[in-house]
Structures are given as structure tokens and as C-alpha cells.
Amino acid sequence: MPTTTATHPPAEPSASAIQKHTGLFRCITIFFLALIVIVGVTVMAIWLVIRPKRLIYTIDNGSIHNFNLTNNHLDSTFNFVIRAHNPNGRASIYYESIEVSVAYNDQNVAFNTLEPFRQPTRNITRLETRLVAQNAALSGSASRDLKRERSLGKVELDVHVKAKIRFKVGIWKSRRRTLKVLCSRVVVPFSSSKKFERTDCDIDL
């Protein structure tokens, strides 16, 4: 007669084994949560110790060259000296990218980029930028306003700066932040005989 072999269902894990795995998972979870808290508290402590002061931007000089406005299209060169002041005594600043644009009546007419640089603590850096408008289209009203201001010998412009920056203290470096600078109502004379007046800028960081 054929023989039969009895089969048994797999043994259920013991209560001690379940507790062991549960305890290991709990320890791993607690470790990672503690690590996140420690990192967060460390970053917050560094930030509170540094207490970075607000950056200060101004337009120190501006000029217009090769101006030509024909059929609502503008050709011109705008030169600006942008003064960037880092008043912080502990934090230097890494400018990883910088974009500068100039607008008239809320219409962008010229754009350029600047080279990345590192700004030390308590430092003033003057950024010289040249923005060229090439056949920039203007609305009819903007073109009429610009012609009128040209006849008066000066023009009112908005200068925008957008940069990706990091603060650095010792070996610690902050996450990348977006710096936006608006220098509104910058009055630029067409004649070099007229004095340019420094313009303060608004900062959004």
C-alpha cells in the first residue's frame, strides 16, 4: 500500500520574534526622528547666532548711450553701477547667478547676466552692468512717454536684479535662496553734465 506523509502548516512566528522586529523598527524610527530634530535644531541655532542683517542695494550711477526710438522700437545702451552691501560680520555671501534687467513703463527693454562671485563679510561690491536694448518693442503710449522724457533730458526706469545666493559661516553654508531687488523710479539723465542721484532699492529674500 502506498504510504502517505502528513504535512503541517508553517509555524507561526513566536511572540518574542514579533516583539524583537517591532522593537528594531521602533528604534530605527526613533533614531531617524532624533537625527532630523538634531539637524533642524542645529541649523536654527546657527541661524539665530548669525542673525543675518538685511542686504542693502542702491544704484550709484547710470547713463544712457546710443539712444534711438523709431516706430515704437527702442535701441539703446544702459549702463548702471549697482552697489551691493553685505553688512553682516559673520556671514559671507556666494552669488551663484545674477540677472539684471531694465524696464520702462513695466515693459522690459534690456537684460544681461553677471559673473558669479563671493562677497566677504562687511563688504561693499560695486557691480557694473551694461544692458543693451536691441529693437525692443514698446506700446504706443510707452513710446510717446519715452519721447517726451527724452525731450526733457532724463528718463525714469526700473532696474531689477534676481540672484541665487547662499550664506556661508565657517564650513556651514545655507540652502540656496532667491534674492530679488527692485530699484524703482531710477532717474537717468541723457547728458553726462547732469548729476545722477543715488537710488535706494527694495529687497525681497
Same domain as 43, residue 113: no
Chain segment 26-77, per-residue pLDDT in tens: 777 777 777 777 766 655 655 555 567 889 999 999 999 999 999 999 999 9
Instruction: Report the predicted TM-score, pTM, of the whole model to 2 decimal places.
Output: 0.75
- pLDDT value at 1 more than 60: no
Number of structural domains (the chain) is 2
Residue 169 lies in a domain: yes
Cell numbers found for residue 171: 564650513
Residue 1 lies in a domain: no
Same domain as 65, residue 38: no
Lowest-confidence pick of 34-48, 85-99, 126-140, 185-199: 34-48
Same domain as 29, residue 66: no
Same domain as 88, residue 35: no
What's the CATH code of the domain at 174? 2.60.40
Same domain as 185, residue 96: yes
What share of the chain in percent tops pLDDT 70?
81
Same domain as 61, residue 41: no
Range of the domain at 179: 56-204
Q: In b/e form, how buried is each residue of 1-33, taking b as 16+ CB within 10 angstroms?
A: eeeeeeeeeeeeeeeeeeeeeeeeeeeeeeeee
- For residue 67, give every residue at least 6 positions away whose Cβ sits within 8 Å of its Cβ, in sequence order, or none: 75, 76, 150, 190
Chain segment 71-113, per-residue pLDDT in tens: 999 999 999 999 999 999 989 999 999 999 999 999 999 999 9
CA 83 to chain centre: 16
